[in-house]
């Protein structure tokens, strides 16, 4: 290219695809960035230096003439979209269509939170109710990182369609399952699809928007998510009361089929050709087959097996097998060995599924850690709320699910406020601190006031917890994007969602284990104090432990003893949420901040070329 000049500019929020041109220590690739004097185009070439002469190189051509916001203004004035940017109409269509899948997936999560006691009780297996969540999130963790890589090859649209179909198949199996195993298997399949539904939405938005605008557009997605969570709980509880819980899941299938049809019609087929709101010319010199061969399938498999073996003990310990069983340390040991092999594989991979250099960035690690601890705290709370009100107030499934509304409403408000604040100020660190503080205050309030006789005002104490989660998810997403290099953005986003999935497993396992252990000891001591016949006491103990609906059949001192055991055990579960949130608050003070500048054009290529000359 005539008149080329090599630049050594660090990326910032205004230049989403300009990467560091110097090879980093330990890096396996070198990069050069050239600017044409005769056109407003940056050409980024990345070549492998791993010693493999056959390793593919990638060339990206990126327009640098204006920001996406200026392009939207131009489109509004002329009625013609720019050739170099995603148009406003494209963005609006993408967001509206994706809202359907986001709505359904979040409704699915909240209706499961509302109905899991009913589902497990139908099979007389309340102790396994946590597997209705754990199966979903374990499958999500195993498949999360692959969606970003495969969507780079086969397109965001195609992978979104695949994830929707897999999710629908899982919902259908849950609805027709005739055993607890079949229902959990359906949740596993749904989780494999649900991981793509969440991660790919965020990747798409990051492709089509400059970083400062991401939070505000994600606020609209958050509204759909919150609406789904708000309606899912009460709707699932109402369906369980009226026609049975199965229709909560069967009813999702036609909605997902509608979403598939609309995505096929309206989603752009070339969304992956935008990076940070700029159009990227695709590299046709490397075939899809060659790119597929470079995908780190071995790393993905090792990562999935590592997560399964490390997280499995937290699910089976204390319920399926005792904590003293040799199976528990054996699984942890195998997990550590698999993790070692995973690290070796990633260091040698041409296109690692998890670029290890992300973990060398302090703020990236802190951002991921803060979201993990916050989500672990929040899911633990959401798991315990329906159980608390069914046990303490003998409410219907509908009302138990409705008690989740303050948290999901707070989540929506938090997401919207975060989007507006980041858009106007370009700052995010204070939001992360505020989020962790708000959540910690919420869980502390539950410890003080939720003792079995909770009035309507006290039931709102879960709202600040949801508010904190809404703030932190938007703010951490931007915090990660600021510090991660553009060509690592898709795996970084997948990693963020993967960490959230692992946090859900961790939070759920901790809360469920603590709750059931204290429930067992509470039932034993409370029933022993009533001087019941040993046979009757054993029957009450077993029924109360396996089926929460059994409480409504009790009366007098026996019912009081069982309710007190449930309330006390759930009090201890709130201490787990408070511990996680307090750790998040402490860590949030160490996150740095890179204020985001106004969306504005980069200096003209011709001026830069002349200065270098």
Q: What is the 3-state secondary structure (H, E, C) of 229-248?
A: HHHHHHHHHHHHHHCCCHHH
- Residues lower than pLDDT 50 in the chain: 1-85, 276-277, 599-613
Task: Report pLDDT for 441.
Answer: 94
Cβ atoms of 132 and 283 closer than 8 Å: no
Task: Report pLDDT for 319.
Answer: 65
Task: Report pLDDT for 41.
Answer: 39
Helix axes 362-393 and 463-483, enclosed angle (nearest 10): 160
> Could you give the count of Cα atoms lying within 13 Å of 225 in the half-sphere of its Cβ?
27
Task: Report pLDDT for 102.
Answer: 83
Give me the residue label for tokens 């230096």: 49
Task: Report pLDDT for 436.
Answer: 93
Task: Report pLDDT for 402.
Answer: 79
Task: Report pLDDT for 281.
Answer: 52
Task: Report pLDDT for 37.
Answer: 37
Task: Report pLDDT for 265.
Answer: 84
DSSP secondary structure of 241-304? HHT-THHHHHTHHHHHHHHHHHHHHHS-TTGGGEETTEEEE--TTS-HHHHHHTB-HHHHHHHH
Task: Report pLDDT for 89.
Answer: 66
Cβ atoms of 174 and 183 closer than 8 Å: yes
Q: In this structure, what token pair is assigned to residue 314? A: 């937290």
Those residues whose C-beta lies under 8 Å from the C-beta of residue 430, and which sit 6 or more positions away, are none
DSSP secondary structure of 11-57? --TT-TT----SPPTT-SEEEEEEE-TTSSEEEEEEEE-SS-TTS--
Task: Report pLDDT for 403.
Answer: 84
d(CA 423, CA 384): 35
d(CA 389, CA 393): 5
Task: Report pLDDT for 439.
Answer: 93
Those residues whose C-beta lies under 8 Å from the C-beta of residue 555, and which sit 6 or more positions away, are none
- Number of Cβ within a 10 Å radius of residue 239: 23
> Taking the alpha carbons of 160, 166, 169, 170 in that order, is the dihedral positive or negative?
negative
Q: In this structure, what token pair is assigned to residue 131? A: 């597997």
d(CA 48, CA 407): 48
Residue 22 CA to its chain's centroid (Å): 33
């Amino acid at each position: 290219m005539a008149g080329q000049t090599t630049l050594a500019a660090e990326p910032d929020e205004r230049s989403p695809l300009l990467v560091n041109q110097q090879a980093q220590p330990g890096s396996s690739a070198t990069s050069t960035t050239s600017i044409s004097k005769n056109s407003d185009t940056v050409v980024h070439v990345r070549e492998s230096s791993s010693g493999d002469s056959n390793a593919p190189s990638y060339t990206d051509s990126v327009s640098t003439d204006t920001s996406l916001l200026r392009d939207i203004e131009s489109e509004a004035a002329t009625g013609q979209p720019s050739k170099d940017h995603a148009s406003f109409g494209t963005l609006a269509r993408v967001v509206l269509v994706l809202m359907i899948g986001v709505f359904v997936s979040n409704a699915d999560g909240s209706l499961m939170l509302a109905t899991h006691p009913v589902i497990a009780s139908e099979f007389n297996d309340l102790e396994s109710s946590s597997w209705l969540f754990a199966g979903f999130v374990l499958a999500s963790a195993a498949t999360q990182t692959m969606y970003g890589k495969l969507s780079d090859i086969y397109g965001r649209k195609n992978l979104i369609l695949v994830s929707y179909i897999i999710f629908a198949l899982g919902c259908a199996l849950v609805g027709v399952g005739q055993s607890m195993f079949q229902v959990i298997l359906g949740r596993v399949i749904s989780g494999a699809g649900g991981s793509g539904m969440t991660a790919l939405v965020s990747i798409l938005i990051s492709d089509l928007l400059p970083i400062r605008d991401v939070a505000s557009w994600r606020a609209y997605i958050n509204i759909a998510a919150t609406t789904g969570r708000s309606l899912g709980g009460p709707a699932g509880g109402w369906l369980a009361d009226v026609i049975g819980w199965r229709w909560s899941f069967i009813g999702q299938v036609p909605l997902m089929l509608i979403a598939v049809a609309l995505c096929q019609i309206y989603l752009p087929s070339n969304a992956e050709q935008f990076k940070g709101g700029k159009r990227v010319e695709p590299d046709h010199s490397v075939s899809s087959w060659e790119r597929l061969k470079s995908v780190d399938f071995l790393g993905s498999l090792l990562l999935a097996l590592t997560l399964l073996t490390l997280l499995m003990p937290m699910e089976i310990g204390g319920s399926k097998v005792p904590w003293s069983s040799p199976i528990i340390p054996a699984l942890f040991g195998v997990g550590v060995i698999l993790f070692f092999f995973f690290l070796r594989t990633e260091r040698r991979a041409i296109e690692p599924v998890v670029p290890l250099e992300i973990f060398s960035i302090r703020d990236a690690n802190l951002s991921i850690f803060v979201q993990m601890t916050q989500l672990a705290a929040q899911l633990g709370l959401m798991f315990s709320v329906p159980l608390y009100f069914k046990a303490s107030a003998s409410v219907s499934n509908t009302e138990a699910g409705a008690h989740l509304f303050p948290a999901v409403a707070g989540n929506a408000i938090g997401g919207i406020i975060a989007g507006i604040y980041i858009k106007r100020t370009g700052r995010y660190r204070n939001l992360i601190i505020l989020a962790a503080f708000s959540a910690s205050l919420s869980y502390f309030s539950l410890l003080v006031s939720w003792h079995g006789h909770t009035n309507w005002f006290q039931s709102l104490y879960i709202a600040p917890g949801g508010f904190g989660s809404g703030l932190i998810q938007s703010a951490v997403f931007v915090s990660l994007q600021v510090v991660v290099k553009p060509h690592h953005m898709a795996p970084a986003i997948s990693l963020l969602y993967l960490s959230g999935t692992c946090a859900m497993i961790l939070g759920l396992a901790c809360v469920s284990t603590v709750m059931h252990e204290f429930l067992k000891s509470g039932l034993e001591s409370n029933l022993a104090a009533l001087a019941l016949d040993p046979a009757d006491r054993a029957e009450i103990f077993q029924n109360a432990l396996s089926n929460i609906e059994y409480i409504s059949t009790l009366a007098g001192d026996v019912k009081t003893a069982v309710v007190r055991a449930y309330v006390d055990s759930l009090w201890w579960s709130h201490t787990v949420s408070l511990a996680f949130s307090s750790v998040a608050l402490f860590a949030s003070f160490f996150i740095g901040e890179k204020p985001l500048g106004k969306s504005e054009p980069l200096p003209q290529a011709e001026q830069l070329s002349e200065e270098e000359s």
